[in-house]
Structure 1
Amino acid sequence: MFEEEWKSLFPIGTVFKSPLLLSGSSAKDSIGPVVFNPISTSLTRLFSSCSFLPSLSPPSILNLYRFLHTSSSVVPSTSSSVVSLFGEQHNNDAASTLRYNRLQLLRCPNSNSIVVFFPTGPNSDHVGFLVVSGNCSGLSVQSDCDNDVFSVESELKYQILGISVNPVSDLGFDGDSFIDIGFLLAYTMYSVEWFIVKSYATDSSFLPKVSLVHLGSKVFKSCSVVHACWSPHLSEESVVLLEDGSLFLFDMEPLLKAKNCSTYANLKGIRLRVSWDSFDCSKKVKWLSCEFSWHPRILIVARSDAVLLVDLREDESSISCLVKIDMFHSYSLAQREQFLAFSKAGSDGFFFTVASNSLLILCDIRKPMSPVLQWTHCLDEPRYMNVFSLSKLRSSASNGLYRLASESGYCIILGSFWSCEFNIFCYGPSPPTLYQSVSSRSSKYFQSLYAWERPSNLILSGRECSCGSCLVRQETFKDAIPEWVEWQQKREIVLGFGILDADLSPPLAGQNEHGGFTLLRLVSSGALESQTYQASWNSLKWIDESHKESLNLADYFLYGWLVDDKYRFSRKFMYFSFEYLMGYLNDNLDEVLDSFTRKYSKDSLCERALTSEIHAVLCEKLKACGFDRLRTSPALAVVFNDISLPASIQEIAFKKLWASLPMDLLHFAFSNYSEFLEDKNPVSLEFSTVPSLHQLPPFMLRNPSSRSNKWSKKVHRTESLVGPVLPLPILLVLHEFQNGCSKLEEEAGKFSLKEELGEQYDQIRFAAREMAVSPLDSKVDDGPIVSLSDDQEYVPSDSQKPKNFVSYHPSAFDSHTSSNTQGNSTDHAADVFDSLIFKLEEKSKNEELFDGLCPVELKFDDRPMNFRPNELKAYGLLKKQLLKWGDGFAAYKEFRSKI
């Protein structure tokens, strides 16, 4: 007996010839292949939806040490001292969140279907599910009526960390042809929700209809939830482990007997009387998981430093230590070795596995403080672990030579969803016992278990090529990414998986005689996929499809707040300086531009020659708007005559300022795309074309340009005039510089853009008060409207006689202005936006069609409007209906009567 026990003290991989490792030709003859490779032709995308996408916390840009080291002149030693004051820094919340398997499977009895559960919702706070059915042609997915995932209406208020399902042993009908097929619990950081899974009692020829009924919830306000699991003995019971080591037992049986489950919304569990006084429970210890052992009142509780057995069969619970982390310091590779993952092994409740930073350990509760089997692993902080029977992974084997080994062996799948690395560790009895009868094997209760072959890789994604060139290329890519970018965002990773039963696996031609399994996986691109794996003698080192593909890495955003499913193109970022915008907001734009002119000559700002084409177009537009060739400052009358649509005081002031600029500055404001290409600007510039109608900028109701990102023979570039390409405030400051006023030359007389705009607003207010009438102002009489001929700046000719104008203040803007802005306009800046001025309707050649429709003057282009009889008839009916509405609307009738 002593000879067998000492063998387990040497982990597989630490010594040249491990005493508990079965490998070589003799082992292969009795064990069979224990390596599992994906079949590339079996990859099938079953369902795709953005509801699969995880919602994780925003990524941490830099840790504290990196921030101090890169953002200041603090030396590294000082940065380390500062960081040590704040304790351990947890920079990767996503890695801890993705330690859970996001996919859980529940078999529907009497059918060839399973229910696939997963977190969904904008914050992963809903339980979603799909029904996957297998048939001779493959797998099919049943979704909701909107071709999306099914989702439970009740939200959990917090992000779901884990989901656990438990099948019901005895099916019970509820009287409505529904049967209870299982229980489900979902736990978040501070709460646990319980559901019962129901299904229609249908035969295998129909897809089952599944629903979830909410049983109750429990919120833990004092401490966060670490783990929750179902009992394999009593399917209605579950246990919850909290961060401080507290254990709570919940029984669903009273809820099942009650007709109205909503009265038990807030469940009250039984707090188990467990005292950890004899064990160190400091803050450095982290509780990991809990599971039921061979008895319904015996629990196995794991934490970072030990695995404990809790016996609750008596009034006073007893606690014993099964394994401690201190036992493995001799072979541990990490400086601070601690347990990271825990799982039960087998269905008898005696064996369990626990993984640390560098070791994987198989234990038996009947042999405390003595490991049964050990392996060393090279995985980066594995958080996921589960144990499967080898018969499940080698199902549908046509060769019965290794059937007894499949029934006796087990496979441990250990890995990390965050690092995308998973290994398979196989173990079982020694080869001589494989051929013994079951009774003889059961008589040797403590027969040593052996590792079957060395650990092998499980390519969970099914697409990664394991050749040396691809591995080197992947590691080089990870090193090339900036420190604040997670490489998992650039790669498609697996978020959860499940193994289908043999009768659900789709048939696949070419599968070998040793059997295999079908894997159902959830990937970060938002897809549910299936792929078949087959048992092989050697690991697959070359996958043609993956090796041939170049390393084109897409952005698979793991963070819900960054997800943009509509945008599927590669993202390229350009960085712009907003110093001019800041100068405008702080009213020191002249200082910003003055600092720029120190580097360059002021005269060089206008060195670019004005092309004859652009000069002709600008002169024509200005002349058509009423400005002579000498380009004197425009009269307010001309600016008001250019008003076509209701315009605010600010818009009118901007029109006046635009028309005041000299021609050489207007060349900076308007250009064509040929000039942009000459500048070789890498940024794709996009501006709207200058309209053909004669009007002053800023232009309204114009067409976008027809420019393309990349010019080609199919898409020719336009030579139309586009703009403005520079904002008006910058041009005004440049105009002042041309006139000889700058901050350096005349500090006392500093140019203020804010004051310049304020002066223009006052001029527009005064002119509007003189020539416009407010239709809603009862104090204004119905006398003749003031003519623009009173304006001393410009006296129009008879042919240019100004029209009548109306000043209108919409009642929707009353909350922004407390009083009438007339008389004290300088004290109320809001009216520059909410006081509208428009030109009254003028009789035109189209008055037969549009007369009386709108008090605002309508402008038309020069194209003739020829209407067919049917169009005129339809227009007449619509016009009649509109006029009838206007006559019945009291506010509109009052408005029309005032103008």
Structure 2
Amino acid sequence: MEFSEEWKSLFPIGASTVSPLLLSNPGSLGPLFFNPNPNSQTHLVSSTIPSLQLPHHLLTERYLLTSDPSILPSTASTIAPLFDSTDQLIDYNVSHFLYNRIQLLKCPDSPNVVVIFPTGVNDQNIGFFMLRVKDSVLDTRLDVKDNVFRASTGSESRILKMSVNPVTDSELGGGSDSSPVIGYLLASSRYSVCWFTVNHNLSLDSPSMSYLGISKVFKEAVVHACWSPHILEESVVLLESGQLFLFDLESQGSSKTFKGTRLRVPQNESAWFKNKGWLSCEFSWQPRSLIVARYDAIFLVDFSSKECNVTCLMKIETLRMFAPDENERFLALSRAGPDYFYFTVASTSLLVLCDVRKPLMPILQWRHGIDEPCYMTVLSLSMLRSNSKVDTFKLASDMGFCIILGSFWNSEFNIFCYGPKFPFRKGSSTSRLSKINTTFYGWELPSEINLSSRECHCGSCLFREELSKDALPEWIDLQLKKEMVLGFGILNNDLASLLCEPDEHGGFTLVRVMSSGKFELQRYHASWAMSRNLEGCHEADLCLESHLLRPMSDKENKYKSADFHCIKLDYLYAYANGNLAQDLTTKLEEVYSDDQEEAPFCLEVHESLCKKLNACGLGHSRSSPAITSIFKDVKLPASFHEVALRKLWTDLPLELLQLAFLSYSECREVIGYNQKGVPLEFLAVPDLPQLPPFFLRKPSPHSNDDIVGPVIPFPVLLVINEARYGYSDSSSDEFSVEGELGLKYKEVMQVAGEIAVSSRGPMCPDDHVVSLDDDEGEPWAGSSKPKSFSTYRPIALNFSDTDNIQGKSVYTDTAYDTFIFHVSDKSCEHTESVGEEMFDDLCPIELRFDAPVKKFEGQSLKAYELLKEQTSKWQQSFDLYKEFCIQSGFEK
């Protein structure tokens, strides 16, 4: 069946058994595989590659599961989405692998080439050097200290992308006669773009670079910046919001003027203003025509007339027949030959050749098979098959084009060749018409290109690499352990022909920079088949040295092992495994068996401690206070867990508390110093009573007279109390810290259910009941006096039982997510002079101030009335506060 050219273009090469637009005729097309020449690798120079702070390769959920065995799978699944942002399409941390780190600029008056790249500890500067042939030998032109030349951007921001615009022979003349301008450079960071001129010092035969003092800082991130192929001094910048800016550099003697124009897209272009994420931009067939790529669409934006015209050239939905994945998106954009009407765009799975004159209709498609390609360039086939001994395939080289598509992170690059239909005779009418023919065919299937010339793809080497992956920890990617290519550029034919002898079918020479910081020269030749076995790597063991995570400085590590002090966490480990009581009891028996007398602690310090403990209701020897005294101290909202801890603290005898609280000077004797004389730090005990104990405290520095603590964790104190005195309420033969806490939770919830107003109904009753009626001093329960306590559960934790069963909410526990607090009685009558109690009218919670007592009068009372009026208006308009009042039983 004969299809039209439009129908043929809808079948990607590689997606069907026989593609209608695939030519496979080596006899007329010539060799289309490119292999590195053995022994052609040449080391040029070394530079500093910054250490990369990269995240591990594991997904967040997998990392949580493998890094901490105590995290349950359901918890890991719940937490992982909080860290994974689907809106952030490009991770800024791995920007080293998204863009080519090398730009090559040819000198128009000689075959010399300037190699330009970012350098510095943060890639904040421009580094460059010149390649030339001197006395038939390759020469690397460096500065007087044999280092690469450097130019500063005037900023410490990391350079992410660079673009050069060469000056042709006809345009040569800028700058001085002895140092003409050979090209322009723009370098873009995350939020800024700066411009440079590149000069060739003819007398010294060396390059120089001048920062024009021109930089533009944007409030939004810079997505892409590129030069115009039509007008030498013009460039365009694309921001992440889709805004376009055109900049013009004009030379006027020794001065530089800088003009920036925002290119405005009409507001009625609704498709343009969708928040989908912008990708790249390129100039099209005329100076005021731009191709702008978004992750879901490609647009042609024409500013040549008074009104801007926007045309959609390609949508991601157009590729759905052979790219059904919902996450399919465009990833790379490039201009293409034979003229500026054509462009190529790569999506997650497809590579498409398009024509701006045929919107929404691909010219040619491939299924590329590359994981997340981020780099793409289009070259003439004659550039890759230059300097050949025979010209049998010269016509095909002149008419054909090559697309290099790949990923620096995955070290995977493929070459896609295309051109007009062959064969035809040179000089025939078909040959002449082919230059304007818009039908292109894929020339052979895509082929791999090994840019590093270090990786062999034979079965043995691939198998050895897979075994190496298994030997590494799960969070380390094999790529970070190998030497990989961070950037490359292909030399012009004039210079390449001076460096090597002609190949049988031609080839090319590239400059590459490796992750170790080495710049290398490598020759490739056109071949009929892909070489699988490479000398020097086929039989060698896979090197797993870290080339990217090495330190930036060559200095020795200033931190010695003696600077670190190890802390034993055996008690913490036992507590986490539920064995604290068993392990601690065994050790206490060994200590008691020694029957040694210990020197008493400072009595003055302990007298002061006793006063503070008694003020908190602690320090009762052998007898515990009624639970009502614990609730009396609940002023600010406290969870049932906190109240239960307060009760357990009051149950501890004074002699045991003296072990947990010490003077700061006593810490030296009890805990001891490490080798450097630095004691462990603890928080100071405040003067105001706080439970459980001393909750709100100021950190160090301390004075030697300060009382600090607790220096022993509460679960340890609880086990020691049971081992020494045996006052546990648990009926079980084996003491458990969790069991003791559970009993107190039930006791606290039972009493709270009697004294507190709750919108959730009564607390869960249990057979272990303690009522406030048992306390003769405070007959609250059953009294006609209004209840002065209220319970409240935050709205964020209000899930239904169905949600909990279906796994839609976090784990809930009444002991932790339900709060109780004392409600102020609102009995304050304002007189001419009042104290802090007047603030009780502002909220249902009884407030306490850590400040000296102060009376308010006169202007202070007027200010208070104004504050009260404003607060009242806010409370009436804030729905969450009103819901809080309803749930807690408090009515304003």
Displacement of 1:97 in angstroms is 4.3
Residue in structure 1 matched with residue 514 of structure 2 by the alignment: 523
Unaligned runs of 5+ in 1: 584-591, 607-743, 761-816, 818-823, 828-899
- Segments of 5+ residues of structure 2 without an aligned counterpart are 572-579, 595-652, 671-700, 707-892
What is the rounded CA distance, in whole Å, between the counterparts of 1:340 and 1:405 in structure 2?
Answer: 30
Look up the SS of the partner of 1:426 in the other structure. Answer: strand
Partner AA of 1:259 in structure 2: S
- TM-aligned CA distance change 1:432 to 1:756, over 3 Å: closer
How far off its partner does 1:479 sit? 4.8
Question: Structure 1 residues 279, 133: closer, same or farther in 2, change over 3 A?
Answer: farther
Match of 1:563 in 2: 552
**How do 1:597-746 residues align onto structure 2 when only pairs under 5 Å count?**
598=586
Q: How does 1:864-879 map to 2 (within 5 A)?
A: none
CA separation of 1:549 and 1:574: change in aligned 2, threshold 3 A: farther
Q: CA deviation at 1:557?
A: 2.0
Is the partner of 1:441 in helix, strand or coil?
helix
Alpha-carbon distance in structure 2 between the residues aligned to 1:242 and 1:34: 38
Which position in structure 1 is the counterpart of 2:566?
Answer: 578
Matches of 1:40 and 1:436 in 2, distance apart?
38
1:198 aligns with 2:195: no
1:480-526, Cα deviation, whole Å (9 max, x unpaired): 43343233221111111000112212667786410111110011101
**Distance between the aligned counterparts of 2:588 and 2:425, measured in 1?**
89
1:12-60 per-residue CA deviation (whole Å, 9 max, x = no partner) reads 011111111111xxx111111010001130111111122xx14545425
Q: Specify the alignment match of 2:43 in structure 1.
A: 45
Residue aligning to 1:73: 72
Distance 1:438 1:79, change over 3 A: farther
| SS of equivalent residue, structure 1 residue 165 | strand
Q: Which residue of 2 aligns with 1:324?
A: 315
| Distance in 2 between residues matched to 1:296 and 1:91, nearest whole Å | 30
Letter in 2 for 1:142: R
1:411 aligned to 2:407? no
Query: Aligned with 2:156: secondary structure?
Result: coil
Which residue of structure 1 aligns with residue 5 of structure 2?
4
Which residue in the other structure is 2:246 paired with? 249
d(CA) in 2 for partners of 1:459, 1:136: 31
Cα deviation, residue 131, structure 1: 1.2
Is 1:381 the counterpart of 2:378? The answer is no
Counterpart of 2:529 in structure 1 is: 538
The answer to whether the 8 Å contact 1:137/1:506 transfers is no
Structure 1's 208 and 337: CA in aligned 2 closer, same or farther, altered over 3 A? same
SS of residue in 2 equivalent to 1:469:
helix
Task: Give the corresponding residue for 2:231.
Answer: 234
- Mapped contact 1:55–1:558 kept (Cα < 8 A): yes
Aligned-pair distance for 1:146? 2.9
Instruction: For 2:94 and 2:657, locate their aligned partners in 1 and report how far apart those are by CA, in whole Å.
Output: 60
| Deviations 1:739-770 (CA, angstroms, capped at 9, x unpaired) | xxxxx9x968859897568689xxxxxxxxxx
Q: Which amino acid aligns with 2:15?
A: T
Q: C-alpha root-mean-square deviation of aligned residues, in Å?
A: 4.1
- SS in structure 1 at match of 2:451: coil
Kindly provide the amino acid, as one letter, of the partner of residue 115 in structure 2: V
The structure 2 residue matched to 1:311, chosen from 284, 302, 312, is: 302
The one of 211, 214, 217 equivalent to 1:216 is: 214
Residues 124, 152 of structure 2: 8 Å contact kept: no
1:718-797 matched pairs, under 5 angstroms: 755=665
8 Å CA contact 1:55, 1:124 repeated in 2 = no
The CA deviation at 1:89 is 6.3
2:130 is aligned with 1:131: yes
Q: Aligned to 1:178, what secondary structure does the other structure show?
A: coil
Alignment of 1:428-507 (within 5 A): 428-433=419-424, 435-437=426-428, 441-442=432-433, 445-505=436-496
* Structure-2 change in CA distance of 1:437 and 1:577 (3 Å): farther
Q: How many residues are treated as equivalent by the alignment?
A: 606
SS at 2:392's partner residue? helix
Tell me how far apart the structure 1 counterparts of residues 414 and 588 of structure 2 sit (CA, whole Å).
64
Contact kept? 2:13, 2:366, Cα under 8 Å: yes
Partner of 1:841: none
Contact 1:64 1:89 (8 Å CA) reproduced = no
- How far residue 533 of structure 1 moved from its aligned partner, in angstroms, is 0.4
Amino acid at match of 1:521: R
Q: Read off the aligned partner of 1:459 and give its amino acid letter.
A: N
Q: Report deviation, 1:111.
A: 2.4
Q: Please list, as runs of the form range in 1=range in 2, the aligned pairs for 1:260-409 lying within 5 A after superposition.
A: 260-261=255-256, 267-275=258-266, 277-281=268-272, 285-332=276-323, 334-346=325-337, 348-409=339-400
1:186 aligns with 187
What letter is aligned with 2:392? L
Number of the residue aligned with 1:723:
none
Question: Aligned AA for 1:380?
Answer: D
Letter in 2 for 1:402: F
1:175 deviation in Å? 3.8
Distance 1:552 1:574, change over 3 A: farther
Task: Give the drift of 1:437.
Answer: 4.1
- In structure 2, how many angstroms separate the alpha carbons of the residues matched to 1:40 and 1:425? 24
After superposition, what is the alpha-carbon deviation per residue over 1:305-345, rounded to whole angstroms, capped at 9, x for unaligned? 12111111100011112122111111116332111101001
Q: Does the 8 Å CA contact 2:12/2:366 hold for their aligned counterparts?
A: yes
Contact 1:525 1:556 in 2 (8 A): yes
Following superposition, the deviation at residue 136 of structure 1 comes to 6.2
1:184-230 residue CA offsets vs partner (Å, 9 max, x unmatched): 1001111110111112235xxx6334232324111111x21111111
Please state how far the C-alpha of 1:247 moved relative to its aligned partner. 0.8
Distance in 1 (CA, whole Å) between partners of 2:359 and 2:90 is 36
Q: SS in structure 2 opposite 1:472? A: helix
Provide the C-alpha distance between the structure 2 equivalents of 1:487 and 1:757, rounded to a whole number of angstroms: 48
Structure 1 residues 100 and 213: CA distance shift in structure 2, 3 A: same
Normalising by structure 2, what TM-score?
0.62
Question: Would the alpha carbon gap of residues 89 and 107 (structure 1) be closer, same or farther in structure 2, given more than 3 Å must change?
Answer: closer
Structure 1 residue 436 displacement after superposition: 4.3
Structure 1 stretch displaced more, 354-363 or 84-93: 84-93
Alpha carbons of structure 1 residues 595 and 69: separation in structure 2 relative to 1, 3 Å: closer
Q: 2 CA distance for matches of 1:470 and 1:486?
A: 18
Is the 1:60–1:92 contact (alpha carbons within 8 Å) kept by the matching residues of 2?
no
Closer/same/farther in 2, CA of residues 129 and 91 from structure 1, 3 Å limit? closer
SS state at 1:505 partner? helix
1:52-131 matched pairs, under 5 angstroms? 53-54=49-50, 56-59=52-55, 63-66=59-62, 69=65, 71=68, 72-75=71-74, 78-79=77-78, 82-83=81-82, 87-88=86-87, 92-131=91-130
> In percent, how many aligned pairs have the same letter?
47
Equivalence for 1:259 = 254
Give the equivalent residue in structure 2 for 1:632: none
Q: Secondary structure at the match of 1:327?
A: helix
Q: Call closer, same or farther: CA 1:550–1:567 in 2, change over 3 Å.
A: farther
Q: SS where residue 400 of structure 1 aligns?
A: coil
Secondary structure of 2:152's match?
Answer: coil
Corresponding residue for residue 158 of structure 1: 157
- 1:797-853: CA deviation from partner (whole Å, max 9, x where unpaired): xxxxxxxxxxxxxxxxxxxx9xxxxxx9989xxxxxxxxxxxxxxxxxxxxxxxxxx
| Aligned CA distance change for structure 1 residues 103 and 475 (closer, same or farther; 3 Å) | same
Deviations 1:87-114 (A, max 9, x none): 4566954444421111000011222321
Amino acid at match of 2:463: V
Give the partner amino acid of 2:222.
Answer: V
Is the alpha carbon distance of 1:287 and 1:219 closer, same or farther for their aligned partners in structure 2, counting shifts above 3 Å?
same
Equivalent AA in structure 1 for residue 403 of structure 2:
I
